[in-house]
Structure 1
Amino acid sequence: MTGAGWRGRLGVDVPVVQAPIGNACTPELVAAVGEAGGLGFLPGTWSSPAELHRRIHAVRRLTSRSFGVNLVLDRPQHERLALVLDHGVPVVSTFWGNPAPYRGRIEAAEALHVHTAGSVAEARVAADLGVDVVVAQGWEAGGHVRGTTSTLALVPAVVDRISPVPVLAAGGICDARGVRAAVALGACGVWVGTRFLVAEQAGTHPRYRERLRAATAEDAVHTGVFRDGWPDAPHRALRNTTLTRWEEAGRPGPGARPGEGEVVAEHASFGPVRRYADLVPVVGHVGDVEGMAMYAGQGVGLIGTTAEPAASIVLDLSRGCAG
């Protein structure tokens, strides 16, 4: 499949992909990205089957454009994958594990399979399995970070190693200049998370939005502090009170962390949030939301200070694909 082939197959106008930004991702965001010509992803990993069903149908009510569902493979995902494919979702993305047990079923359903890799070796394994598109995720990325190599070094190395499999670049890309650089490195498009956190349609908590808009690259720390719910998965998040207290205590493990077990926030629908949980603050959280995980990549200082709809973000990023 060529770089443009995956877009033609899905009816995607521009190679701008909205990453599945956890529980801040809403059906409205995914649909708006699709309506703007890009490709949006729902996170499916931690949703119950009933909730995932509801969210897929919510996107479908808002758009007829293609969208995808993301599944994290550090836990079995056969039930959720079956639900996604039974609902005819045209794209499945996988991350943080071996896609081999899932590849055959995705292929048989004629869905597009996207897999995120943090190294050349991992990308080669995915390509050898027949994965349709590989996301090369650089170390600059926000949220959970698979590898240790920068986007600038990783993307061209992956492109060289797995050509002609299309490669999307991820990590630190927040504006058209980053997109232009990714294309120059051989990527066929980009996978962007941090900038979509501040889209009007995202469910991001207002305080989280404020922190994102005020942050610089240095505020986005590569750490392992927000591990409860997804252990042994390094991530990049904005420095906050939880991270600072943990570092000052010597980065202790579970059982010895300062404030462990404390409820830092509550949500009427989702319940209490304890310190060190792998959860970002969304609309409706009350309490010390500052102590929750605020994932962000090193491109965070480029997102600007003006609220904008997802369509404007897609349009701005797409300018880097032209010419």
Structure 2
Amino acid sequence: MVLRTRFTELLGVRHPIALAPMGGSAGGALAAAVSRGGGLGMVGAGPGDPEWMDRELPLAAARPDLPWGVGFLAWAAGVDAVRHALEYGPRAVMLSFGDPAPFAGAVRAVGAILIVQATDLDEARRAVDVGADVIVAQGTEAGGHGARRGRSTLPFVPVVVDLVAPTPVLAAGGIADGRGVAAALALGAAGALVGTRFQATAEALVDPATVEAIVAGRAEDTERNRVLDLARGSAWPERYTARTLGHPYLDRWRGREADLAADPGARLSYEDDVARGVIPALPRWAGESVDLITDVPSAADLVVSLADGAAEALAAATRGPR
């Protein structure tokens, strides 16, 4: 079964699967591997550091025949960073967590596809207002950052699909195997944006110890909180929290976020613990689908596996019980 959707037709990819542009994980090699597998690989440029982009974007752009994209944090990146990335010829630009309006003109000027992530209905409406070509509906099960008062993927996606029609929607949050991709399609989405599962792949820019923790992790080990952003001195807007695996600083400061924010020595203590190897250099971002991750394949093979699994799940659902 070939899963053709508005997303695959718009982006020119074989499978309705996109790599979430995860900062610190989704570099050029990972994006290129996802594109080789028939999905849309996206580089996670975050705030848009030029040196980092100049190192990673050429890896994604090495095959001009394969579409790829790049993602930015709308609250942290500048328009110049987006314009710099566009010089490498991405097929799509994704904007998350903040107002996409300042960037939309630059993306449209070169004919790239504008993808905007929404974590609530207000953000979905804003994505429509700025003319997004694709909208990502992210449920609170997702790893990494998301809405502090978000909604679960299952009820959120179809509401967004109805709200923004006819704009195609990608479902995100808690998707790590073919059944999850099939569920996204059944909810009316045109595909799935997958994050945590791609962290445990051969090409991901992830510390080996973090990969091991993801493979061994369980959904109940994950937690959505602001503690690690505050401890790191990260300027993430308060409306967004982050889902991660367990961490000593969560245990130390859980429920005392105001005290943490007011403690001038907390960040120095965090940085010292990172330098001494007491805690990982980055939080271990992971979503509730972590239970489904049991191996570390190549990303290209994973895309094919997700697509095949989705086709099998949809076929099984239509056959019914035997």
Classify the TM-score, shorter chain. Answer: 0.7 to 0.9
CA RMSD of aligned residues (A): 2.3
217, 221, 229: which is aligned to 2:234?
229
Unpaired segments ≥5 residues, structure 1: 267-272, 275-285
Provide the residue aligned with 1:164 in structure 2. Answer: 166
Q: 2:254 aligns with which of 230, 233, 247?
A: 247
Shift of 1:256: 2.2
Matched, 1:314 2:306: no
Q: What residue is the counterpart of 1:10 in the other structure?
A: 11
Range with greater deviation from structure 2 (174-183 or 291-300): 291-300
Q: Distance in 1 between matches of 2:152 and 2:265?
A: 32
Shift in CA distance, 14/265, structure 1 to aligned 2, threshold 3 Å:
farther
**The 10-residue stretch of structure 1 (198-207 or 223-232) with the greater mean CA deviation from structure 2:** 223-232
- Matched with 1:280 is none
1:202 aligns with 2:204: yes
**1:138 touches 1:154 (CA, 8 Å); kept in 2?**
yes
Picking from 287, 293, 303, the partner of 1:297 is 287
Residues 73 and 96 in structure 2, CA contact (< 8 A), matched pair in contact too = yes
CA contact (8 A) 2:41 2:68 kept: yes
Deviations 1:102-130 (A, max 9, x none): 22221221100000001123212211321
**Amino acid aligned to 1:162:** V
Whether the 8 Å CA contact 1:178–1:320 is kept in 2: the answer is no
Please, what TM-score do these two structures have when normalized by structure 2? 0.87
Equivalent residue number for residue 144 of structure 1: 145
Distance 1:8 1:249 in 2: 48
More helix by share: 2
User: Contact 2:7–2:16 at 8 Å: present in 1 too?
Assistant: no
- Per-residue Cα deviation, 1:166-210 (whole angstroms, up to 9, x for no partner): 000000111111111111111110001000000011121111111
| Match runs of 1:273-284 below 5 Å | 273=274
Indicate the larger mover: 245-254 or 161-170.
Answer: 245-254
Structure 1 residues 303, 113: CA separation in 2 closer, same or farther (over 3 Å shift)?
same
**SS of structure 1 residue aligned to 2:81:** helix
Residue range with higher mean Cα deviation, 6-15 or 69-78? 6-15
For 1:287 and 1:215, locate their aligned partners in 2 and report how far apart those are by CA, in whole Å. 21
AA aligned to 2:297 is E
CA distance in structure 2 between the aligned counterparts of 1:314 and 1:218, rounded to whole angstroms = 26
Report the Cα distance in structure 2 between the residues aligned to 1:110 and 1:196, rounded to whole angstroms. Answer: 28
- 1-structure distance, mates of 2:47, 2:89: 20
Which blocks of at least 5 consecutive residues in structure 2 are unaligned?
A: 316-322
Residues in 2 aligned to 1:176 and 1:211: alpha-carbon distance in whole angstroms: 22
* Secondary structure of 1:61 counterpart: coil
Task: Give the aligned length.
Answer: 303
TM-score (norm 1): 0.87
Match of 1:59 in 2: 60
- Counterpart contact for 1:207–1:289, Cα < 8 Å: no
| Matched ranges for 1:93-172 at <5 A | 93-146=94-147, 147-172=149-174
Deviations 1:121-170 (A, max 9, x none): 32122113210000000011110013511001100000111111100000
Please tell me whether the aligned partners of residues 45 and 77 of structure 1 are also in contact (alpha carbons under 8 angstroms): no
1:201-220 correspondence to structure 2 within 5 Å: 201-220=203-222
Change (3 A) 1:23 1:258: same
Any idea what SS the aligned residue of 1:24 has? coil
Q: Quick one: which amino acid aligns to residue 95 of structure 2?
A: T
